[in-house]
Amino acid sequence: MDWNSLILLGVLATSLVASGVIFLLAESRLVLRTVVNLTAAVLKLVLVGWIVLGVYQAIEYEFRFTIIEGVDFILRADALGIMFVGLSSLLWLFTTIYAIGYLEKAPNRSRFFGFFSLCVASTVGIALAGNLFTFLLFYELLTLSTYPLVVHRGTRESLRAGQVYLYYTLGGGALLLFGVVALHVLIGDTEFVPGGSLAGLDPSLHPMLIIIFLMMVIGLGVKAALFPLHAWLPMAMVAPAPVSALLHAVAVVKAGAFGIARVVYDVFGIEFAQSLGLLMPLAVAASITIIYGSLRALAQTDLKKRLAFSTVSQVSYIVLGISLFGPIGAVGGLMHLLHQGLMKITLFFCAGNYAETLGVHKISELDGVGERMPATSVVFTLGAFGMIGIPPMAGFISKWYLGVGALEAQMNWVLGVLILSSLLNAAYFLPILYRIWFRKRDRLWCEGKVLGRFETQASLLFPTLLTAAFALAAGILAGMPFSPLYWAELIVGREYLQ
Amino acid sequence: MIVRVVMAGLLSLGVTVALGWAVLDRPAPVENLPDRVASAMPESGVEHPVTAVLLNFRSYDTLLEIAVLLLAVVVALALREAQPDRPEQMGLDNPLLRAVMAWLLPLILVVAGFLLWAGSYQPGGAFQAGSVLAAAGVLLRLAGGNLGWLDNAALLRAGLALGLLTFIGIGMVVMLPGVPFLTYPDAHAGTLILVIELTLTLSIGLTLLSLFRLNPPYADDPADARTQGAPKP
Amino acid sequence: MIGLWSVPLLFALPLSLGILSLLVVPKWRPRLIFLGLPLLAAASLDVLAGLATVGPTVYRLGDWAAPLGINLVVDGLAVGMILMTTLVTSLCALYAWVYLRDHPSSTTFFWPLLWFLWAGMNGIWLAEDIFNLYVGLEVMGLAAVGMVALRATPQALAAAMRYLLAALLGSLAYLLGVALLYGAYGTLSMAGLQEAATNNATTQVALALIILGLLLKTALFPLHAWLPPAHGGALTPVSALLSALVIKASFYILMRLWLVLGPEVTPEFTAQFLGVLGAGAVFYGGWMAWRQHHLKQLVAYSTVAQIGYLFLFFPLVTNTGPEAARLAWDGTLMMLIAHALAKAALFLSAGNLILAVGSPQISHLVGISRFRPMSLFSFGLAGVSLMGLPPSGGFTGKWLLLHSAILSGQWWWLIVLFLGGLLSAAYIFKVFRMSFREGPQIDRSVTPPLTLDVTALILASVAILIGLTAHLPLHWLRMGSVFGVG
Amino acid sequence: MSGAISGYLVFAWSGVLLFGLGLFGFIVHRHLLRRLLAFNIMGSGSFLVLVGLAQDGRGVDHVPHAMVITGIVVAVASTALALVVFRRWYRASGRTDLPEDT
C-alpha cells in the first residue's frame, strides 16, 4: 500500500469520515459541526489539488482490493476523473459555507450535513471509480444519500418528490446494474481503459453490446435527466437551495453525464461506439433534451423550477459533446461539465439568496430586486449571460467548441440545435434580468432576517460571489493552464483519439 | 367445508398413491447396516443391538432427543399460569384405585427397574423404564396421592437436568484421552451406558410426569372440572 | 484431530447452559450469556481456524464411522453457518439481556430456550446424517415455537400454535422421506446416499416429501402463512432470531440434500418450479410487506419475500454448467448470510423504533428521524442490504445471482431480481417517508438503552461490510463443497 | 423385490395408509385436538414405513428400531408441547380452533 493509493482513499475518507462524525454529533453542537465540515472540505481540496498536480505530471494513482473473485474495487485518478473530483470538492466547500448560513436555526441540521457529506463522498467515488463495478457502487450510494436531502423539509410535497426521485433513480440504477453484469459476463471485470475494451469482441456479440449500451445509457440518463427521464428533477426543487445547487450543479446530474462519458470513452471506446452506430441516437436524444428543457423552462413561473428545466437542457450539452465524434466536440462537452457546474451553482445560490432574504420564489416577484440586492443580482446576470452563451463567459466557450465539433463530425444540424437553444436560453433568462434591473419594485418583501452589514448574510453572499468569480474566470482565462478548457484538452489529448 | 374435504381427500390420496409407488419401486439397498451393527456389537458394551444403537453408535441422536423432551418441559414451565387457589388434592374419588395403588406402586417400580436393566440384553431401556415411572406418578396422582414434594422447584429441576447433564458430562469426560465426543472406552462402555441409562430413566420419568402436572386442571373451568373428583355444586 | 473439543462444544455447551439456566434463579438466567458467548465464539473461531489450516474434515462421534455412527461434517458451508449463527445469536442475546428487563418474569424462560435453539441450529449446520437432521430440526423447531409462545398473549399463542402445526407437519414429511431413503439405500449418511442414490420412484417421492416438508418449515410462498404472525408478533429478539437464522436451517438442509440427490434424480422442471415459487414469494411478500401498517409485520413479510431469492439457487445450479452453478452457490450463500445479518438488524432496530414511539404502527413514526436518528440509521443500513443496493452483502449476492442467471441464459430471473429490488425499496422507504415527515416539534419519544441501538448497528454494519470483503467468506464457504477448487 | 409382499412390507403398507389417513384428518379438522391426534397417526404411519420398508427382504434391522424409539420420544414431546400451548390458547380465547381457519 503505497503513498499514492492512500491519498486516493484520503480524498474519499475526508467526506466519509466527516459524514460519520456529523451523524454522531448532537443537533446542538453547532460550532463543532461547522469546524468538522469546513476542515474536511478544506482538507479534501488540498488533497485534490495535490493529485491534480500529480495527474498533470502523469503520475499514476491507484487503489484496489478484491471484492469477489474477478471483481475489484478500484479507485484511480485519471485526468477525466480528477476533473470531476476537483469540481465537486471545490463546490462542496462553497456549498457547505452557504448551507451553514442558509440553514441557520433550521431543524435537523445534523442529519442534513451528514447526508450532505455522504453525498459528496459518493460523487468523489463516482469520479475516482476505476471500473464499472466501483462506479455502480457509488452511483447507487449517491441515490441513497441524496434522498434524505430531497425530502429534508418533510412536507407532503417534498416526500412526494422524494418518492418520484427514488422510483426514477432506483429503476435507472437497476438497468445500469443489468448492463454492467451483462458486460461482466462477456469480458470480465470492466476497467475503464482509454479507448475502451470492447472493440475486440466477436461481431456476433454486437447486437448484445448495443442492448447493453442502451441499458447503461438509459440507467445513467435518469440521473443526467435526459428526456424523457427528467421528470424527477424539477420536482426535486422542493429541497432547500443548497441541495438544489449541489444536486443540479454537481452531484446527481453530473454523475449521470460523467457516467455516459465513461461508458462511451472508456468502456466502449469512442471509435467502437461510432462503428456500432450508437453516437447518433445519443446526439439526437441530447438535442431533443436541450430543446425540450428550454421550452419547458420558458413556461415556468417559479424561479427555481425555471432553473431546473434549464439544467435539464444544459446538462445535455455535455452528452451532446460526448456524442460528437471528434476531439473538438469532446473538449466542448467535457469542459461544459465544469462550466455548467460553476454557472448553475451560482444561479441557484442567487435564487436561494432571493428566497432567503426577501422570501421571493416567483419570477414575477423579482421586480426591482436589483436595487435591493445589487451584488447578488449582478452575479445572477453574469450567470445568465453565461448560460445564454454570451462571450466572454464560460458558456460561450463551451458552445463554440461544441459547434466546431459538430461541423468536424459532419453533423451540421447540431449547429441549428445550438443556435435555437441559445435563443431559447435568452428568451427565458432575459425577461428575468429585465425584471431585476428595469422594473420598479411593486410589492413588499418579507425581510424578517437579521442580515448584518451586507445585502444578505455574509455566509450566503460570499460563496455566491466566489463561484461567480470562478465561472467568470473559467471564461476569461480559458487560455491559461489549469482552466477547464486546458484540462479538457489535456484529457482529450492524453487519453482519447491518440 | 365440502371443498376442503374434497381437497384434503385428493391431497392425501395423492400422497398415499405416491408413497405406495415409492414402496413398490424400492431398489435393493447396497449398504447393509445390520451387518455392521452386528460386527460392532462386541465393542458396544451392551448386548442388545437396539440399546447399542441408541446409546453408543447413535447416542448423539438420543442426546438431542432428551433435549427435545426437556424443551417441552421448559415451554410448559414458561406457559404455566399462576393459580393461587389451585386445589392440592385432585384425585379421582375412587377408593378402589387407592387401594390398588398401594399394591401396584412397588410393582411398577420393580417393573421400571427391570426394564432399565433388561435394556442391555433384550428390548427395554431408559425410555421404556422412564415412561413406566411416569405412569406410576400419574396413577398416584389420580389416586389422590401426595406429590407435593415435586413442587420443590429446585429439586424438580435438578431431577430434570440430571439425565442430560450426566450424558453430556460423560460424553466430554471420555474425550480426555483425545478421542471424539461420546467415545466410551471399550472396558467401561457397559458401565458408562448403565449410568447414563439410570439417570436418563429418572429424568425421563420426571419429565413426563412434569408435563402432566405442570398444567393442572383449572379450578374454575367447567371443562376441566369434570376431571376432578368432587362434582361442582 | 482438528476441532476435537470445539466441534462438540458447539452443541454440548449451549445444551449444558440451557440446563444450567433452568437450575439457577431467574435473576441469574440472563447472566449466563457472559459465560456462554465468549466460549462459543472461541469454539466457532477455533473451528474456522481448523478449516483454514487443515481444510474440511469429518468428525466421527463416538469414533464410529458412518453409516454405523453419526458423523459431523466440518466443511466451509457448515463453518460459515456456525460463524453467522454465533455472531447473530450473540448480538441478539445481548439485545435480549437489556430488552427483557422490563418484561414479566416468565420471559426469563427465553434463556433456556435460546440455548436449546442455538444447540439445535449448530447441530443442523454440522449434521451429515439425515435422521440426525430430523432430531436437530425438532430441537430447533420446538425451541422456536416456545419462544413465539413466550409472550402468552392470545395472539402469540395462536401464532405459536400455527407455527407448531406447520413445523410438525413439515418434520413428518421430512421423516417419511428419510424412512423411504433408508428403506431404499440402507444408509442415513449423506455421503453414502450420494454414492448409492439412483433415479427411481422411491428416491423421487422421498425427495418430494423432503422438499415439501422443508418448504413448509422455510415458509416459502405459498406455504408461508404461519410466518408473519409468528415472526411479527414475537418478542423483538425472538423475531430477529427466527427470521435471521431459524428459517435458514431448513433451507440449508434443502440445499445440501439437493446437491446430494438433486442432480441424480430431479428433472429440471422441479428446479424451475422451485425458482417460480421463489419468484412468487418475492412478489407476494414484497407486495404484502408494502401493505402492512404494523412495523414488525412489514419486516416479517419482508422475510417472506427475501426467502424467495434463496430459491433461485435451484434453477441456477441445476444443469447450468460449472461456472454458473458456482456463481449461484456463491450468490445464494451471500444472500443468505446478508439476509441473516440485515434482517436481524432490521428487526432489532424496528424494535427500538417501536420502543421509542411506544406504538407498533408505522404511522406513529412521523418525525422520528429527528429524535432517534441512530435507530433509524441501523434500519436504513439493513434496508440497503435488503434492497440489494451497494455496498452491501445483499448487493454482492444479487450481483452473483444476476451473473449466474445471465451466464446460464435464464434471463427471466433477471425480472424477478429487478422487480424484487424495487418492491423492497418501496416497503423500506415507506418507513423512511414516515420518519422524515415533519411531525411534532417536541421530542416525546423514549430513548432506548444504548445497548439496543448498538447491537442493531453492529449487525447492520456487518451486513454492509460483508459485501465489500465477500471474497474471503465465499472462499471459505466453498471449501469442501463440489464448488471448491483446490 | 416388489413382487411378493413379505411380512415386513405389510407394516410399510399400513404405514402408508395411516399416513394418508392422518394427513386427511390433519387438513380436514379444525379442532386442534383432532389435528394433534391426526398428527400422531401420521407419525405412527411414518414409523411403520421406517421399520417395515427397511426390514423387507433383509430381515431384522435394529437401526430403524432405535430411530423409531427416538421418533416416539420426539413425538411425545411435541404433542405435550402442543397440548400446553393449546390449553393456554383455549383458556385465553375459549376457542378450540385457530382464528383464521373458520
Cβ atoms C47, C82 nearer than 8 A: yes
Asked whether the beta carbons of residue A170 and residue C422 sit closer than 8 angstroms, the reply is yes
Nearest residue in B to D9, CA atom: B23
SS3 assignment, position A451 = coil
Under 8 Å CB pairs connecting chains B and C tally to 181
pLDDT tops 90 at residue A308? no
Residue D53 in contact with partner chain B when CB distance is under 8 A = yes
CA distance B101 to B96: 8
pLDDT tops 70 at residue B135? yes
Q: Any idea which of A256-260, A393-397, C249-253, C326-330 has the lowest mean pLDDT?
A: A393-397
Encode pLDDT of B171-186 as tens digits: 999 999 889 999 999 8
Asked whether the beta carbons of residue A68 and residue C421 sit closer than 8 angstroms, the reply is no
What amino acid is encoded at C353 in this protein? L
pLDDT tops 50 at residue C486? no
A10-14 mean pLDDT: 87
Please indicate whether residue C90 or residue C321 has the higher confidence score (pLDDT).
Answer: C90
Q: Which of C434, C311, C313, C455 is nearest to C382 (CA)?
A: C455
Chains B and C touch (3+ CB pairs under 8 A): yes
Q: What is the pLDDT of residue C84?
A: 96
Nearest residue in C to B159, CA atom: C23
- Please state whether the peptide bond connecting residue B84 to the residue before it is cis, i.e. omega within 30 degrees of 0: no
A287-313 mean pLDDT: 88
Encode pLDDT of B57-74 as tens digits: 999 999 999 999 999 999
Q: Among C335, C363, C471, pick the best mutation site for testing chain A contact (most A Cβ within 10 A).
A: C471
List of chains touching D (3+ CB pairs within 8 A): B, C
What's the CATH code of the domain at D62?
A: 1.10.287.3510
Nearest residue in B to C65, CA atom: B57
Q: Any idea which of A49-58, A294-303, B137-146 has the lowest mean pLDDT?
A: B137-146
* Structural domain harbouring D49: 8-96
Confidence band, pLDDT 50/70/90 cuts, at residue D2? very low
Confidence band, pLDDT 50/70/90 cuts, at residue B217? low
Q: Which of D27, D53, D58 sits opposite B8 (nearest CB)?
A: D27
Asked whether the beta carbons of residue C373 and residue A73 sit closer than 8 angstroms, the reply is no
Question: Could you tell me the residue ranges of all domains in chain B?
Answer: 48-79+90-214
Encode pLDDT of C413-445 as tens digits: 999 999 999 999 999 999 988 888 877 767 777
Q: Which of C389, C422, C436 sits opposite A140 (nearest CB)?
A: C389
CA distance B232 to C349: 52
Chains A and D touch (3+ CB pairs under 8 A): no
% of chain C exceeding 90 in pLDDT: 71
Asked whether the beta carbons of residue C138 and residue D74 sit closer than 8 angstroms, the reply is yes
CA distance C240 to C88: 9
pLDDT tops 90 at residue A463? no
pLDDT tops 70 at residue A342? yes
Residue A185 in contact with partner chain C when CB distance is under 8 A = yes
Q: Which of B13, B58, B215 sits opposite D87 (nearest CB)?
A: B215
Q: Among D24, D35, D44, D46, pick the best mutation site for testing chain C contact (most C Cβ within 10 A).
A: D46
D89-96 — which CB contacts under 8 Å span 24+ positions? D89/C154, D89/C157, D89/C158, D89/C161, D89/D32, D91/B81, D91/B218, D91/B221, D92/C152, D92/C153, D92/C154, D92/C157, D93/C154, D93/C157, D93/C158, D96/D30, D96/D31, D96/D32, D96/D33
Residue D15 included in any domain = yes
Asked whether the beta carbons of residue D23 and residue B11 sit closer than 8 angstroms, the reply is yes
Confidence band, pLDDT 50/70/90 cuts, at residue A125? very high
**To the nearest whole angstrom, how far is the Cα of A251 from the nearest Cα of chain C?**
18
pLDDT tops 80 at residue A104? no
| Run of H or E including C73 | strand C71-74
pLDDT tops 70 at residue B148? no
Residue D56 in contact with partner chain C when CB distance is under 8 A = yes
| Run of H or E including A77 | strand A71-77
Q: How many CB atoms lie within 10 A of CB C485?
A: 9
CA distance B64 to A81: 60
pLDDT tops 80 at residue A479? no
Residues of C in contact with A23 (CB under 8 A): 373, 377
Residue A166 in contact with partner chain C when CB distance is under 8 A = yes
Nearest residue in C to A141, CA atom: C390
What amino acid is encoded at B97 in this protein? L
Q: What is the pLDDT of residue A35?
A: 87
Residue D31 included in any domain = yes
Asked whether the beta carbons of residue A159 and residue C421 sit closer than 8 angstroms, the reply is no
Residues of C in contact with D49 (CB under 8 A): 176, 179-180, 183
Q: Which of B24, B74, B184 sits opposite C109 (nearest CB)?
A: B74
Cβ atoms D77, D33 nearer than 8 A: no
Q: Which of C337, C471, C467, C399 is nearest to A68 (CA)?
A: C471
The rounded mean pLDDT for chain B is: 83
Q: What is the pLDDT of residue A496?
A: 61
Q: Mean pLDDT: which of A197-211, A374-388, A454-468, D14-28 is highest?
A: D14-28
The rounded mean pLDDT for chain C is: 91
**To the nearest whole angstrom, how far is the Cα of D34 from the nearest Cα of chain C?**
12
Nearest residue in A to C367, CA atom: A154
pLDDT tops 80 at residue A278? yes
Give the C-alpha distances (Å, rounded to integers) separating B139 from A80, B133, B153, D55.
Answer: 88, 10, 21, 37
* Burial call A252-266: b when 16+ CB within 10 Å, e when fewer: bbbbbbbbbbbbbbb
Chains C and A touch (3+ CB pairs under 8 A): yes
Give the C-alpha distances (Å, rounded to integers) separating C51 from A69, A341, C77, C189, C467.
Answer: 20, 54, 11, 21, 22
Confidence band, pLDDT 50/70/90 cuts, at residue A76? confident
Residue D78 in contact with partner chain B when CB distance is under 8 A = yes
A423-437 mean pLDDT: 87
Q: What is the pLDDT of residue B91?
A: 63
Asked whether the beta carbons of residue C396 and residue A68 sit closer than 8 angstroms, the reply is yes
B23-49 mean pLDDT: 86
Q: Which of C152, C176, C182 sits opposite D64 (nearest CB)?
A: C182
Nearest residue in C to B43, CA atom: C64
The rounded mean pLDDT for chain A is: 85
pLDDT tops 70 at residue C343? yes
**To the nearest whole angstrom, how far is the Cα of A427 from the nearest Cα of chain C?**
38
B135-145 mean pLDDT: 82
Q: Among C202, C207, C238, pick the best mutation site for testing chain B contact (most B Cβ within 10 A).
A: C202
Encode pLDDT of C83-131 as tens digits: 999 999 999 999 999 999 888 877 889 999 999 999 999 999 999 999 9
List, as ranges, residues 161-190 from B with C-beta within 8 Å of C: 161, 164-165, 168, 171-172, 175, 178-184
**To the nearest whole angstrom, how far is the Cα of A139 from the nearest Cα of chain C?**
9
C250-279 mean pLDDT: 88
Q: What is the pLDDT of residue B230?
A: 42
List of chains touching B (3+ CB pairs within 8 A): C, D
pLDDT tops 50 at residue D3? no
List, as ranges, residues 123-162 from C with C-beta within 8 Å of D: 131, 134-135, 138, 142, 145-146, 149, 152-154, 157-158, 160-162
Structurally, chain D folds into a number of domains equal to: 1
Residue C472 is placed in which grid cell?
A: 474471503
Q: Which of B27, B64, B179 sits opposite C63 (nearest CB)?
A: B179
Chains A and B touch (3+ CB pairs under 8 A): no
CA distance C428 to C423: 9
Residue D24 in contact with partner chain B when CB distance is under 8 A = yes
For the question of an ipTM over 0.95, the answer is: no
Asked whether the beta carbons of residue B180 and residue C113 sit closer than 8 angstroms, the reply is no
List, as ranges, residues 179-208 from C with C-beta within 8 Å of D: 179-180, 182-184, 186
Q: Which of D26, D45, D54 sits opposite C182 (nearest CB)?
A: D54
Nearest residue in C to B178, CA atom: C4
Would you give the DSSP letter of residue A28?
Answer: T
Asked whether the beta carbons of residue A68 and residue C468 sit closer than 8 angstroms, the reply is no
Q: Which of C192, C153, C171 is nearest to C73 (CA)?
A: C192
Asked whether the beta carbons of residue B12 and residue D58 sit closer than 8 angstroms, the reply is no
Confidence band, pLDDT 50/70/90 cuts, at residue B90? low
